[in-house]
Structure 1
Amino acid sequence: MALLERIHLTIVREVDRHGSLTAAAARLNLTQSALSHTIRKLEDQLGVEIWRREGRRLHPTQAGEWLLAVANRLLPQLDHAEERLRQFAEGERGKLRIGMECHPCYQWLLKIVAPYLDAWPRVEVDVRQKFQFGGIGALFGYEIDLLVTPDPLFRPGLCFEPVFDYEQVLVVGPHHPLRTAAFVEPDQIADETLITYPVEIDRLDIYTRFLMPAGIRPKLHKPIETTDIMLLMVAHGRGVAALPRWMVEEYGAKFGVSPVRLGRDGVAKQIFLGCRDADRDLDYLRAFVEMARDHRDAQAEPTR
């Protein structure tokens, strides 16, 4: 008989999530004594402690941390496999879980999801932004089925397809001196408060492709999660931001903000949809990619 079974991985995950045997037992529909017995038996069979007790909470040992990582990686894959097989057995289409690594793409996504729901009524759609392992890890870990990202990481087992082109621009308020400029140079941002989404600097194009190559950093960097608040801050002279041109042109009139090209040649970008190679021929996933590509001319600013 195998030492490790699926229930052991589930126990490890639930104890870590809830921090106590009582809460984990309730989640697993077990008595606390039965859960304690299973844990002791597992540790005896493995010959190593999985948890240590600190007060009323359980914390994983080094071996427990490793086993927890295995559980977090394998359990979603098993759940996904069982769900997919159930769908085959019952003739269902399935569930499309979309992960977002592109903060300003929600409005674009809504314009794809709305007709998609009409065209594929037997497909359930879920949109997620937070992942346990990041976007690429979420694909490999079966947390999501499709990743929306402007920065694909090409890895064996994954495929990425561009669905539209756009231009990243500087966004300035109605009284900003750069409002009518044809383009902006990096040193013109050195005294600005730069407002961005809460993303690591090394994944922000205005830094990696515009400011950092010129050795320039803004006076202040202010992360803001909500697009509307970001545009309000810019409109009221509290800073400048970097967003796709199509978004600024769509919402600029509402907030009184304007786009300015980053450098003489601009910063050209693409949005990609990524999925696992094994899923790329699923009809309902393929249909979503094709619908997204059909919308690109209406949503994207052509690169020049």
Structure 2
Amino acid sequence: MLQSILEIRHLRTLIALRDTGSLVRAAQLLNLTQSALSHQVKLLEDRYGAQLFERKSVPPQFSTTGLRLLQLADTALPLVEEAERDVARLALGRSGQLRIVVECHTCFDWLMPAMDAFRQRWPEIELDIVSGFHPDPIALVMQNRAEVAIVSEQDPDETVDYHALFRFEIVALLANDHALTAKAHLTARHFADQTLITYPVPDEMLDIVRQVLAPAGVEPAHRRTTELTVAMLQLVASGRGVATLPLWAVQNYLDRGYVTARRVGSKGLTGRLYMACTQGTSGRPWLADFVRITRESCFKSLPGIELL
């Protein structure tokens, strides 16, 4: 009888290949190099004397051997993860609280599905979102009014742990007949005579101001705010101003031709998101699971993002 060389990482690799549809994206999801992931696959193929999937097909078409190993992965991994959670519960108690404070208005689009997935795995952890806008979300973490803050920057002066989530492109949104649609990309000066529509948050929390306009000394001719993303897009579509939003948040509107997007700068404007929490919270096993679930959920569902 053959001695098995299968490890948990091999099973996770196969599931990642199936769920992401490519070697490149699977490697990103697993935080591996493409070479390391290919080496894992080749090791299994050499061991079993058969290809696991067709290399030239996108998404990968798994062979009979690959499908059998996938079946094993789908059966075994949930059992392993459930056992690990049970061990953590026995060691640390069966209750806990995870209150989340969010500084970005668009975060709810991806946060709610991640919370739903986490709730199924850790039903004894009480989940809640701290309501309202908070200009200093990390302060709530330090005051024990929240366990986790979703933030867009790492502050080296804060005594918290940062768990990287993902980076994404922020695009400028224009009415379809706006004169600036003729530009390949927008620079700070293009906003000087425009009405800039944003969420009602301090400028230091707006990437377009913090990264582009303020360094160039540019102030838009007019400013307008709205709490709702859909209202912002309606204002843009009707020619009331321009806005900047994450590409993943507006891709559906762009696909329908509701508004037009242009890059900000020749290389694009990049935003980032992190989870911030105390060292004590970082040590909780369910926190690591929440970070992992969030990263995986976002990577599979949000277009154009890259894991940090």
Q: Assess same fold via TM > 0.5.
A: yes
In the alignment, which residue of structure 2 is the partner of 1:188? 190
Contact 2:110 2:298 in 1 (8 A): no
- Give the C-alpha shift of residue 174 in structure 1: 2.1
Distance change >3 Å, CA 182–CA 92, structure 1 → 2: same
Distance change >3 Å, CA 203–CA 132, structure 1 → 2: closer
Quick one: percent identity of the two aligned structures?
30
The aligned length equals: 217
SS for the counterpart of 1:295 is helix
Contact 1:93 1:284 in 2 (8 A): no
Pick which of 248-257 and 178-187 moved more: 248-257
Pick which of 173-182 and 95-104 moved more: 173-182
Separation (CA, whole Å) in 2 of partners of 1:156 and 1:234: 37
Separation (CA, whole Å) in 1 of partners of 2:131 and 2:175: 29
In the alignment, which residue of structure 2 is the partner of 1:210? 212
Distance change >3 Å, CA 141–CA 172, structure 1 → 2: same
> Could you tell me which amino acid in structure 1 is paired with residue 122 of structure 2?
W
In the alignment, which residue of structure 2 is the partner of 1:301? 304
Distance change >3 Å, CA 132–CA 259, structure 1 → 2: closer
Deviations for 1:213-244, whole angstroms, at most 9, x for unmatched residues?
A: 22211110112111111111111111111111
Contact 2:103 2:133 in 1 (8 A): no
The structure with more radius of gyration? 1
Separation (CA, whole Å) in 1 of partners of 2:135 and 2:190: 37
- Unaligned 5+ segments in structure 1 are 1-86
Length-normalised TM-score, structure 1 = 0.65
Within 5 Å, which residues of 2 pair with 1:27-106? Answer: 91-106=93-108
- Give the C-alpha shift of residue 290 in structure 1: 0.9
Length-normalised TM-score, structure 2 = 0.64
Deviations for 1:30-72, whole angstroms, at most 9, x for unmatched residues?
A: xxxxxxxxxxxxxxxxxxxxxxxxxxxxxxxxxxxxxxxxxxx
Separation (CA, whole Å) in 2 of partners of 1:176 and 1:217: 20
1:148 partnered with 2:150: yes
SS for the counterpart of 1:293 is helix
1:112 partnered with 2:114: yes
Separation (CA, whole Å) in 1 of partners of 2:257 and 2:107: 18
- Unaligned 5+ segments in structure 2 are 1-88
Deviations for 1:88-112, whole angstroms, at most 9, x for unmatched residues?
A: 9994321210100111111011221
Separation (CA, whole Å) in 1 of partners of 2:284 and 2:256: 40
Distance change >3 Å, CA 209–CA 280, structure 1 → 2: same
Contact 1:158 1:277 in 2 (8 A): yes
In the alignment, which residue of structure 1 is the partner of 2:278? 276
> Could you tell me which amino acid in structure 2 is paired with residue 237 of structure 1?
G
Deviations for 1:217-276, whole angstroms, at most 9, x for unmatched residues?
A: 111011211111111111111111111111121343467022211011111121101111
Separation (CA, whole Å) in 1 of partners of 2:139 and 2:126: 22
> Could you tell me which amino acid in structure 1 is paired with residue 250 of structure 2?
V
Question: What's the RMSD between the two structures over aligned residues?
Answer: 2.5
Deviations for 1:260-295, whole angstroms, at most 9, x for unmatched residues?
A: 110111111211011111110212222111111213
In the alignment, which residue of structure 1 is the partner of 2:22? none
SS for the counterpart of 2:244 is strand
Contact 1:248 1:257 in 2 (8 A): no
Contact 1:171 1:248 in 2 (8 A): no
SS for the counterpart of 1:151 is coil
Separation (CA, whole Å) in 1 of partners of 2:194 and 2:135: 33
